[in-house]
């Protein structure tokens, strides 16, 4: 949750790539918090997931195309979040953002935790849903009395 706090205090220009459930809800949250947000997705229909009150910009196009990134004014962004459903595309986007455009904060969602290694040395933050979920489920199992746990399941 550190990620959200940072953005509350700064008011950065954030670029989100991939308007899936995660990308869209992140964009909605940042927009509600009055942040500058731009979201990119290959598929125009994906933008239906954005809330009606979404006040940011959206571009339909392939973010791996440098023209699309220029259109998004990537050089002015301070945060880039790559959350497409393709791990390799996310990695490449993050590295482009970091090395070609020197963006301060780059965050990547990776389904496969084994691919983390290639991001580490570039100072790219990685989020792995599988690992996070496993930790959370572990916590629930430890903290919850057995009876409540049974009720939750029903």
Partner 1 sequence: MKTKVLLVGGRTKTKSLAASLIQKGYQVTVINNFYEDCLMLAQIDKLRVISGDGTKPFVLEDASASEADIAIALTSKDEDNLVICELCKKKFHVKKTVALVSDSRKTNFFYKMGIDSVVCAITVVTGIIEQQAFMEKISSLVPIGEGRVNIAEIPISETAPVVGKKLWEINLPKQVIVGCILRGDTTMVPRGDTRILAGDMLILISSGKQELAAIKELTGR
The residues of the shown chain that bind partner 1, judged by CB under 8 A, are 64-66, 86-89, 91-93, 95-96, 99-100, 112, 114-115, 117-118, 121
Minimum distance of partner 1 from residue 20's CB (angstroms): 17
Written as six digits, the tokens of 94 are: 């993050």
Decide whether 121 or 152 has the Cβ nearer to partner 1: 121
Decide whether 88 or 133 has the Cβ nearer to partner 1: 88
Minimum distance of partner 1 from residue 92's CB (angstroms): 4
Decide whether 114 or 153 has the Cβ nearer to partner 1: 114
Decide whether 29 or 95 has the Cβ nearer to partner 1: 95
Rounded distance between C-alpha atoms, residue 24 and residue 44, angstroms: 13
Decide whether 45 or 114 has the Cβ nearer to partner 1: 114
Written as six digits, the tokens of 108 are: 């990547």
**Per-residue CA distances from 154 to 29, 142, 145, 147, 148 (Å):** 31, 19, 15, 11, 10
Who contacts 140 (Cβ-Cβ below 8 Å, separation ≥6)?
149
Minimum distance of partner 1 from residue 2's CB (angstroms): 26
Minimum distance of partner 1 from residue 139's CB (angstroms): 28
Minimum distance of partner 1 from residue 117's CB (angstroms): 5
């Amino acid at each position: 949750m550190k990620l959200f706090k940072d953005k509350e205090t700064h008011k950065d220009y954030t670029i989100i790539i991939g308007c899936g459930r995660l990308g869209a809800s992140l964009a909605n949250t940042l927009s509600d918090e009055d942040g500058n947000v731009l979201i990119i997705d290959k598929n125009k229909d994906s933008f239906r997931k954005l809330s009606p009150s979404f006040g940011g910009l959206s571009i339909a196009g392939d973010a791996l195309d440098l023209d699309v990134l220029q259109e998004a004014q990537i050089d002015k962004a301070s945060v880039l979040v790559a959350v497409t459903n393709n791990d390799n595309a996310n990695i490449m986007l993050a590295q482009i953002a970091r090395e070609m455009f020197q963006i301060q904060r780059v965050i990547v969602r990776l389904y496969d935790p084994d691919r983390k290694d290639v991001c580490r040395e570039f100072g790219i933050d990685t989020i792995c849903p599988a690992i996070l979920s496993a930790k959370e489920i572990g916590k629930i199992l430890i903290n919850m009395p057995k009876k409540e746990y049974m009720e939750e399941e029903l």
